[in-house]
Structure 1
Amino acid sequence: MAIGLATVLADDNSLELVAAADTVSGLLAQTTDLDLAILDLRLGDGSTPRSNVDALAEHGIETLVYTCGEDPYLVRAAAKAGVLGILLKSTPAADTLDAIRQAAQGTPVPTQDWAAAIDGDPALREVGLTPRQLDVLALYANGEKASTVARMTGLAEQTVIDYLARIRKRYAEAGRPAPTKTDLYKRALEDGWLPRPEQPRR
């Protein structure tokens, strides 16, 4: 990512690439005198967007996300973490520069991708799940039993079972049936409510 950004910034005298690192901890070890950090969502140390944004914020550094946007879970996590914006790597260079200039001044960058991440997936809105139902879906689809989900959420087990029935019904009505637990796991992945499994390293 740093090489690509360096290329974008090369002909702009108003912006300076001060430091680059593979991890946020590595960046902060180099310097904390930064107006803005441009963060990729997938870092080699397996850190989360929330922990990285929080670590930068402790030093008064604002964050702009620069991502391929292929993982809705990570994008949504970044949006909730309080970043200034979410910028796709496919954004034209001129627009990328404008966004970085704006973020470097501490001004939010209202891109469509950021708004979509905050609002949630359009398909999920059509399904119409409540926040409590989403909690149940995420836990159950990730492998927990209904009784365990009940303990973790403070709900009665029968309430969890009822929620799961309503969730399945709403997905079916949206043309995305999820009759099995595996199907619910797939839907939760599609809508960004569970992190995608890490790809095995070769």
Structure 2
Amino acid sequence: MTRVALIDDHESVRLGLEAACARDSNMTVVFSGSTVTDYLEWRTFSASPPADVVVLDLTLGDGTTVTENVRRVVTDGSSVIIHSVADRPAAVREALAAGAAGVVSKASPIDDVIAAIRTVAFGEPLNNVEWASAVEGDRAFADAQLSARERDVLRLYAAGLPLKVVADRLGVAYSTAKENITRVRVKYVEVGRPAPTKVDLLRRALEDGILSESADDAPAGGPSDR
């Protein structure tokens, strides 16, 4: 069961999302409110675990910033989907840089929003038209200045290969491949796009065009590791 929290200062939006989630037998709305502060206070007083996915409006009416809201929710332990009119690409990029898993337009069909919640709940990257529009052309957001070797290691590792297999395929020592991944993570932190997990590294590789979603990039098999 995917536990969902809805944070939007427009009640009609929340009611529509609640009704859509209620139609999915594997999804339940545990919180619906207008601010992140209200959500975190509910968490404290109810002793409820964090929601699996928080659907968050890009701009709330309480004067908070998108960076502040996303970071508070992510730090609390939830994944964040920005639900926005998506006409402010700079603010969307800000949300993605703060750790949001993706963005879904409020103009999207409700089934697309529900599908996005499922995708993020399974720990998969959310890449769609809204996300692409937000990052396209913004090289300051996209460029972590990775070396050619670091890009090679990231491409294979993010595609699902264990790090030892990556090292063997590139003809380098395991320690060298591990050091490259460490440097990649440090560089992404330096540009405000942290990637602490393998799923995060996959998102960064997709964002930066290092890895495509085509079958050509998929590894032949083998288990993945962190």
Match of 2:176?
A: none
Match of 1:98?
A: 115
CA distance in 1, matches of 2:93, 2:126: 16
CA distance in 1, matches of 2:40, 2:76: 9
Match of 2:64?
A: 47
The reply on whether 1:83 has 2:95 as its aligned counterpart is no
Aligned to 2:127, the other structure's residue is in SS state coil
**What are the Cα deviations for residues 1-30 of structure 1, in whole angstroms up to 9, with x where unaligned?**
311211221211111111012111111111
> Structure 2 regions of 5+ residues with no counterpart?
1-12, 44-48, 141-226
Taking a change above 3 Å as real, the CA distance of residues 104 and 76 of structure 1, as seen in their structure-2 partners, is same
Candidates 74, 81, 87, aligned match of 1:64: 81
> Aligned partner of 1:4: which letter?
G
The answer to whether the 8 A contact 1:37-1:64 is kept is yes
The answer to whether the 8 A contact 1:79-1:118 is kept is no
> Aligned partner of 2:84: which letter?
T
Deviation at 1:71, TM superposition (A): 2.2
> Aligned partner of 1:39: which letter?
L
Taking a change above 3 Å as real, the CA distance of residues 27 and 118 of structure 1, as seen in their structure-2 partners, is same
Match of 1:37?
A: 54
Aligned to 2:120, the other structure's residue is in SS state helix
> Aligned partner of 2:54: which letter?
A
Deviation at 1:70, TM superposition (A): 2.5
CA distance in 2, matches of 1:50, 1:8: 27
The reply on whether 1:9 has 2:26 as its aligned counterpart is no
Number of paired residues? 123
Taking a change above 3 Å as real, the CA distance of residues 79 and 58 of structure 1, as seen in their structure-2 partners, is closer
> Aligned partner of 1:29: which letter?
E
CA distance in 2, matches of 1:79, 1:120: 15
CA distance in 2, matches of 1:93, 1:53: 22
Task: Give runs of aligned pairs for residues 102-181 of structure 1, distance below 5 A.
Answer: 102-120=119-137
**What are the Cα deviations for residues 25-63 of structure 1, in whole angstroms up to 9, with x where unaligned?**
111111252111110011111211111111012211110
CA distance in 2, matches of 1:108, 1:83: 10
Aligned to 1:17, the other structure's residue is in SS state strand
> Structure 1 regions of 5+ residues with no counterpart?
122-129, 132-202
Match of 1:194?
A: none
CA distance in 1, matches of 2:42, 2:122: 22
**What are the Cα deviations for residues 73-126 of structure 1, in whole angstroms up to 9, with x where unaligned?**
3222112222111000111122221111111222221111112212247xxxxx
Match of 1:140?
A: none
TM-score, length basis structure 1 = 0.56
CA distance in 2, matches of 1:107, 1:30: 27
> Aligned partner of 1:7: which letter?
A
CA distance in 1, matches of 2:82, 2:18: 16
More divergent stretch after superposition (2-11 vs 70-79): 70-79
CA distance in 2, matches of 1:49, 1:102: 22
